[in-house]
Amino acid sequence: MKVPPGVSASDFAEAIKQFEEAVGKEWVFTSDEDVAMYRDAYSPFMGEPEERVASAAVAPDGMEQVQKVVRIANRYKIPIYPVSTGKNLGYGGSAPVLSGSVVLDLKRMNRILEVNEANAYALVEPGVSYFDLYRYIQEKGLKLWVDVPDPGWGSPIGNALDRGGGYLMPQYRNHFDSHCGMEVVLANGEVLRTGMGALPGAQTWQQYKSGFGPWIDGMFSQSNFGVVTKMGFWLMPEPDAYLSGTVVVPRHDDLIPLVRILTYLEDTRVTNGMPDLGSPLLGIPMLSDFATRFESGGTPFERPLDPELSDLIAKGGGLATSALDGYAQRKGLGYWSCKLSFYGASKANAANWEFAREKFSEIPGVRFEEGENYKLPLTPEQREKVHKPQFGIPSLAMFSIGARSAMNPEPASGHMWFSPIIPRTGEAIFEANRVFAQAAKEFGLPFLSFNLPSTYWERAFIFIFAFPVTRDVEFNKRNRAAFNKLIQVAAEHGWGEYRTAPAFQDAIMNTYSYNNHALLHFHETVKDAIDPNGILSAGRYGIWPKHVREAKS
């Protein structure tokens, strides 16, 4: 049995014994076989000594048991690493940042404590998955939608704390922003509730977010300051109808007004679903194309370019040329497209789409394509055609991107995401492509010819690049090195990542260095004050406890 760093074998044995008394012997895992199931299945260190692995796992079944485990861990200075469902694959998984930590597996805490239809909220424990919550709502016949990320097997709490996103209206799409109230066990075993939950007998814990005084909820996301044991979420009442329409513009430079007008329409809530960018010319599909691509057995990635087009790009020195614009016009292809989604009253959706068309009409040559128009709820046939998360339906379909297919006969065994936030302008999209294409060439990365950003957040774009993870150690080493270089390249241009896997958390936290790392120093001050033994998730998001910092220096 592996022993946590800095802990004697006898102390660890005693702690394990006490964990068993706290949660029951069958819920403490110490055998190699059981502990191996807590490895990060997508670890970029798989098979290398640097792989971060657990020493044991403890699975409590309730907040009181979490308190007991935390107190025992404090007594013996055992590092523990809470995970909810452990499905943060590509950004971490279930393995600790500090090798040898004991994973605090919260999966057994899977109670849906309340779903309120009239006020559209839920209160859940960390082991509840999106599938669980969706099924519960369906079984009860409630007219509520859950904003789900692409993989539906994750935990609403875990995903929100890692600051994940989804696809519905903007106020739900940012999962941390859509939470309302937390219950947190601190490192000393004390439990607190945030927001209105601090008021005994509060009747509005899930209805008013900030309560009274400093609003500290953000401190428990992407951090290691407490173990969140309950969390409320605002759900989306099922709308009357869904409408989509696609805007197609003919020239390269039209991306700039396309984004500008889109941003205005989104910020004024004329369009309220996640916008979906694509390029008919370059074969870059929109997200909503994926479902139909999968159905037809095609690749979700960009299509191979017509040789004539490849030639034009190569000879003309890039994508912003009149020759390319001419080619697009000749072939009847738009250069860029953007699908708009509207959730709401059927007549209002039609009026909003009409207004959007008016606004986009300032772009010469723009054309519009009518899309889906569904009265909700969807029929079973309609459900099979759509990108399910855009209708609050959890799915695992997005894993088809990396799965074996005719176009991908030798799939990778995982992936890691490089996800910098860039400004929400067309100019920034061009600039980021220029910078990352140059970096990709330099570092030998097979990026697409052009990348369009994801539009989860209202006020910024995210570029999301997938790095494959394989069982080839040398390949993974090269990709880790390239990933680290991209972090630096992005930071030099004022772009920072929104989330990352443990392998890169220190490197990225180091780029958020304004005023000599003042923000990190604040995190460390808080960490030392509320977790003096440094037992909780040491190293998570670059925040290390004092004893580790001192040992490193």
- The residue (of 331 and 404) whose beta carbon lies closer to another protein is 404
Exactly one of 167, 498, 540, 541 is catalytic; name it. Answer: 498
The reply on whether position 294 binds another protein by CB under 8 A is: yes
The reply on whether position 382 binds another protein by CB under 8 A is: no
Site string for another protein, 228-267 (x = CB under 8 A): ----------------------------------------
User: In 10 A of CB 349, how many CB atoms?
Assistant: 24
CA atoms within 13 A on the CB side of 119: 15
Exactly one of 91, 167, 374, 456 is catalytic; name it. Answer: 91
Out of 179, 388, 480, 527, the only residue in the binding site for another protein (CB under 8 A) is: 388
Site string for another protein, 415-454 (x = CB under 8 A): x---------------------------------------
Q: Does residue 456 have an active-site annotation?
A: no
- The span from the CA of 143 to the CA of 69, in Å, is 38
Residue 550, SS3 per DSSP: helix
385 exposed, middle or buried (CB, 10 Å; 0-12, 13-18, 19+)? middle
Out of 82, 96, 152, 283, the only residue in the binding site for another protein (CB under 8 A) is: 152
- The residue (of 403 and 519) whose beta carbon lies closer to another protein is 403
Q: In whole angstroms, how close is the CB of 417 to another protein at the nearest point?
A: 14
Write out the binding residues for another protein, residues 457-516 only, by CB under 8 A.
471-472
Write out the binding residues for another protein, residues 401-420 only, by CB under 8 A.
402-406, 408-415
Residues 546 and 224: beta-carbon distance below 8 Å:
no
Q: In whole angstroms, how close is the CB of 501 to another protein at the nearest point?
A: 14
Exactly one of 343, 499, 540, 541 is catalytic; name it. Answer: 499
- The span from the CA of 67 to the CA of 321, in Å, is 63
User: In 10 A of CB 200, how many CB atoms?
Assistant: 6
User: In 10 A of CB 347, how many CB atoms?
Assistant: 10
Out of 384, 427, 442, 492, the only residue in the binding site for another protein (CB under 8 A) is: 384
Q: In whole angstroms, how close is the CB of 503 to another protein at the nearest point?
A: 17
- The residue (of 1 and 396) whose beta carbon lies closer to another protein is 396
Q: Does residue 512 have an active-site annotation?
A: no
The reply on whether position 52 binds another protein by CB under 8 A is: no
Site string for another protein, 2-31 (x = CB under 8 A): -------------------------x-x--
- The residue (of 394 and 426) whose beta carbon lies closer to another protein is 394
Report the C-alpha dihedral over residues 303, 309, 313, 314, rounded to 10 degrees: 100
Q: Does residue 121 have an active-site annotation?
A: no
User: How far are the Cα atoms of 99, 159, 546 from residue 503, in angstroms, in the given order?
Assistant: 12, 19, 20
Residues 501 and 90: beta-carbon distance below 8 Å:
yes
Quick one: which segment of 87-95, 277-285, 338-346, 349-357 binds another protein (CB under 8 A)? 87-95
Quick one: which segment of 184-192, 287-295, 339-347, 525-533 binds another protein (CB under 8 A)? 287-295
User: How far are the Cα atoms of 96, 466, 536 from residue 14, in angstroms, in the given order?
Assistant: 21, 43, 19
End-to-end CA gap in the chain? 29
- Site size toward another protein, by CB under 8 A: 53
Report the C-alpha dihedral over residues 359, 360, 361, 364, rounded to 10 degrees: 140
In Å, the largest CA–CA distance within the chain is 77
- The residue (of 1 and 403) whose beta carbon lies closer to another protein is 403
Site string for another protein, 95-114 (x = CB under 8 A): ----------x-xx------
Structure tokens, 385:
């055609």
- CA 341-342-347 angle, 5° bins: 145
Structure tokens, 122:
């839920």
90 exposed, middle or buried (CB, 10 Å; 0-12, 13-18, 19+)? buried
Catalytic residue IDs: 91, 498-499
Binding site for another protein (CB under 8 A): 27, 29, 33-34, 36-39, 41-42, 47, 57, 59, 85-87, 89, 93-94, 105, 107-108, 127, 131, 152-153, 291, 294-295, 384-385, 388, 394-397, 399-400, 402-406, 408-415, 471-472
